[in-house]
Amino acid sequence: MKKIFLLVFSLFFVVASNFAQEKKNKKEVQQGHIDQNKFRQLKDVLATPNDQHTASGAPGSQYTQQKVDYVMDIRLEESTNKIYGDETITYHNNSKDQLDYLWVQLDQNMRADDSKTPLAKSTGASAFITPKNFQNTYMKEGKGFGFNIEKVESEGKPLSHFINRTMMRINLPNPLASGETFKFRIKWNYKINDINKDGGRSGLESFPDGNNNYTIAQFFPRLAVYNNVEGWQNMQFWGRSEWALEFGDYEVNLTVPADHIVDATGVLQNEKNVLTKTQRKRWEKARTTFDKPVMIVTQAEAEKAEKGRTSKTKTWKFKAKRVRDFAFASSRKYIWDAMATNVNGKTVMAVSLYPKEGNPLWEEHSTRAVATTLIEYSKLTFDYPYPKAISVHSERQGMEYPMICFNFGRPNPDGTYSDRTKKGMIGVIVHEVGHNFFPMIVNSDERQWTWMDEGLNSFVEILAEDVYDPVLFAGNPAKNITRYMSGDQSNISPIMSQGDYVKQFGPNAYTKPAAGLYILRKTIMGPELFDHAFRTYSKRWMFKHPTPADFFRSMEDASGMDLDWFWRGWFYTTDVNDIGIKAVKPLYLTDKPSERVAKLKEQYKQYFDGLGDLVYITDKKEDANPKAMDKYAEGKEVPSYIYSVEFEKPGGLIMPLIVELTYADGSTEKQTFPAQIWMKNDKTVKRVFASTKEIKSIKVDPDMETADVDTSNNSWPKKESKKFDEFKNKVKN
């Protein structure tokens, strides 16, 4: 064996030396280049690992994060649609740093009269416009939105602060050392926006009967994140990219009209004070009912309540531990149902609140969809740690908060609905409830990296929806993303782009990351390997602040797979996948060497003598001898059909090469070659297929698993269109 190796090496050396000498004789000067191979490592892109964010993708021994606790008294004034708040904040400096100031988010200021958000949009004049739109666009009047900060104080003394649009800097009286806490108070109020008229992520929906549905979030001044990656995450809120928040404990008293039904982040502390005996009895039944929702407030009761009004109030008290935010919903119109959900032996309550306008769709599906989401997400990540998950119906919303979310999906006024409406409603519930996992627990920075919560969540959503209704949600994410990826490159952004300047936000942050992870799981890694790695990442970063590098590194660390080529191509570029068949050449066994081989045998006689007996492969059918291998076959059937296939890759993305062979007898065989087949040449590769049966056709990516944007080159023989066949027949006739 060593002798043959040396002969082969010597032959290669001679040929290479001759080639080099020819280049030298021509006196060509070649320019050097850097490594541009698409399998090169991501070390030039990812942040340098350290003792806080390690090279394995796990939190390091020196990882720290802040804690912020809130005690709040909130009053919802229905007559003026205003919220009044008084909050005491306790800030825990767990970092190693001394802090001179704190940054507080004032998200409601995004819609204030002096907001810069409308001015940051390029607008042109329309040739026609409705009078109402003209008035709203060119005759604007101030609406008085935004926070009114009444007091900022500590220990009863005014606290120096400065408001910069959607951020407020709290100037500390003394530097806050590592390990110390600082307690201060903010008193404030603001006017609630009408979601359908004024827009917004939260607010109120008004009904013709004079009632409102209040779905309230971003309603209080909240501490920005201070971490060991960004320092203060105090980027302005422009209305799109969402939030970076710290975990903490909440005690919230919500004072609302006495005839309202309320639910919120956390556990209700005073059921006896705010619920009737009948409601409490039904709620207790729901706690032990796992097969179907139990009605806590029926539709008939909700319809009766919405006809009344009261000037009295009730205060609902909630406590929440280890949450990054707080939201609530309040209305006298609510129907309320709930059921118990078994998450690996722990009972979690799945809850829905909705006005009659949501029925019958919501009564049939909302709470069941919540329960399915909790179970399926827990399988792929970690057991859901909170006591409940609530789905609240609002006509035009889809927003998420710890333990509670607001969702659209409304049937027609007569109660009928299409499959499209049903699919949209179930889909948004699964998606928004799923956000409890990403980013409410795996707490990524939404302001910077939208895909880290939306994309990961959209991926797990696909798997959960398939369990809920595999017929309604049948689809192929890899195939569906090709239209977006093959679009105008000037209107596409890499996934790894900050959310505010991303083009085509939905496909970029939601569907492309989800499709990529779907391909990674189904085609590249396989479910078993992928699921272990994904669970590892999720558990590592529960209740912590991961970065993109932590995700990429964890997936590789827990799987034993080098995926840098995938992250680089799918996440950092807008390259597309296009793999096709360039040429197919039938080959034949023979006992006759070709003229070229005969010359080589004569030139390198010693090498060939060392190889012993030989059979040959030729592309000349007339020289074929199918029996040339018979005496060496040792009773095994010799492949009589040999095909040399050259595959091309016009697209810039690297993907596995999936090939389906269809034989003359109608049987098929699929062969998958790993992405690494493109390591040496990412333009073309060759493979030889040998079979005892004639191959009638070859197809690349037959099930459309790899997001191939152009399938016209995927088949051999090349398929011609029906119109072209008709044209040929006309010419022939």
Query: What separation in angstroms does the CA of 617 have from each of 8, 194, 589, 696?
Result: 19, 77, 5, 20
Same domain membership, residue 214 and residue 78: yes
Q: Does 602 lie in the same domain as 721?
A: yes
Residue 456: give its domain's CATH number: 1.10.390.10
pLDDT digits (tens, 9 = 90+) for 613-643: 999 999 999 999 999 999 999 989 999 899 9
In a domain, 413, yes or no: no
Closest CA to 708 of 521, 571, 565, 579: 579
Summarize pLDDT for 456-491 with one digit per residue, the tens: 999 999 999 999 999 999 999 999 999 999 999 999
Same domain, 590 and 557: no
Judge if 484 and 610 occupy the same domain.
Answer: no
- Residue 695 belongs to a domain: yes
Q: Answer yes or no: is 195 within a domain.
A: yes
Whole domain around residue 210: which residue ranges?
A: 66-119+138-246
**Are residue 701 and residue 614 in the same domain, yes or no?**
yes
Q: Specify the pLDDT at position 547.
A: 98
Residue 536, classed as helix, strand or coil, is helix
Question: 């005996």: which residue's tokens?
Answer: 277
Burial (Cβ within 10 Å: 0-12, 13-18, ≥19) of residue 566 = buried
User: How far apart are alpha carbons 382 and 378 in whole angstroms?
Assistant: 5
628 and 550 in one domain? Answer: no
For residue range 428-448, list pLDDT tens digits in order. 999 999 999 999 999 999 999
- pTM across the whole model: 0.93
198: CATH = 2.60.40
Peptide bond into 413 cis (omega under 30): no
Q: Are residues 636 and 539 in the same domain?
A: no
Confidence of residue 729 (pLDDT cuts 50, 70, 90): low
CA dihedral 354, 359, 361, 367 (to 10 degrees): 40
**Structural tokens at position 361:** 């769709």
- For residue 565, give the nearest of 710, 709, 677 by alpha carbon: 677
How many structural domains does the chain have?
3
**Does the residue 229 lie in any domain?**
yes
Q: Where are the beta strands (DSSP E) in 335-423?
A: 335-343, 346-354, 388-393, 398-401, 404-407
Q: How confident is the model at residue 726 (pLDDT cuts 50, 70, 90)?
A: low
Instruction: Return the amino acid letter for 722.
Output: K
Domain final residue, candidates 205, 228, 246:
246
What pLDDT shows up at residue 16?
43
Q: Which residues are CB-contacts of 126 (< 8 A; sequence separation ≥ 6)?
A: none
* pLDDT at position 733 over 70: no
Which pLDDT score, from 0 to 100, does residue 132 have? 81
CA–CA dist 409, 128 (Å, integer)? 31
Spatial CB neighbours of 145, under 8 Å, sequence gap ≥ 6: 108, 111, 112, 113, 190, 191, 193, 198
- At 560-572, the pLDDT tens digits run 999 999 999 999 9
Residue 686 domain-assigned (yes or no): yes
Sign of the Cα torsion 418, 422, 427, 429 reads positive
Residue 540 domain flag? yes
Phi first, then psi, for residue 482 (nearest 5°) are: -65, -30
Could you identify the residue written with the tokens 């910077």? 448
Q: Are residues 512 and 560 in the same domain?
A: yes
Residues 506 and 597 both lie in one domain: no
Per the domain annotation, does 607 fall within a domain?
Answer: yes
SS3 153: strand
Residue 301 lies in a domain: no
Residue 441 is predicted with a pLDDT of: 98
Instruction: Please tell me the distance from the alpha carbon of residue 591 to that of residue 604, in angstroms, as a whole number.
Output: 19
The 3-state secondary structure of 540-605, one letter per residue: HCCCECCCHHHHHHHHHHHHCCCCHHHHHHHHHCCCCECCEEEEEEEEEEECCCCHHHHHHHHHCH
Among 211, 246, 281, give the residue marking a domain's end: 246
369-393 b/e (C-beta count within 10 Å ≥ 16 → b)? bbbbbbbbbbbbbbebbbebbbbbb
Contact 394, 425 (CB under 8 A): no
DSSP 384: -
| Cβ atoms 607, 597 nearer than 8 A | no
Tokens coding 137:
């666009």
The model's pLDDT over 153-175, given as tens digits with 9 standing for 90+, comes to 999 999 999 999 999 999 999 99
Q: Is there a single domain that holds both residue 78 and residue 163?
A: yes
Q: Is the pLDDT of residue 272 over 70?
A: yes
* pLDDT at position 466: 98
Please check the confidence at residue 731 and state whether its pLDDT lies above 50: no
What residues pair up with 660 in beta bridges, in sequence order?
670, 699
Which CA distances in Å does 574 have to 40, 44, 468, 486? 18, 19, 33, 9
Q: What percent of the chain has pLDDT over 70?
A: 94
pLDDT over 90 for what percent of the chain? 88
* Distance, CA of 322 to chain centre: 24
End of a domain among 523, 541, 574? 574
Crossing angle of helices 512-519 and 451-468, in 10° steps, is 60
Query: Do residues 600 and 691 both lie within one domain?
Result: yes
Q: What is the pLDDT of residues 644-673, one digit of tens each?
A: 999 999 999 999 999 999 999 999 999 999
Residue 681 in this model has a pLDDT that exceeds 50: yes
In the numeric block, the tokens 């040998």 are attached to 690
Displacement of CA 172 from its chain's centroid (Å): 38
Instruction: Work out the pLDDT band at 325, boundaries 50, 70, 90.
Output: very high
| DSSP-derived 3-state class of residue 112 | coil
Domain co-membership, 525 together with 592: no
CB 159 within 8 A of CB 165: no
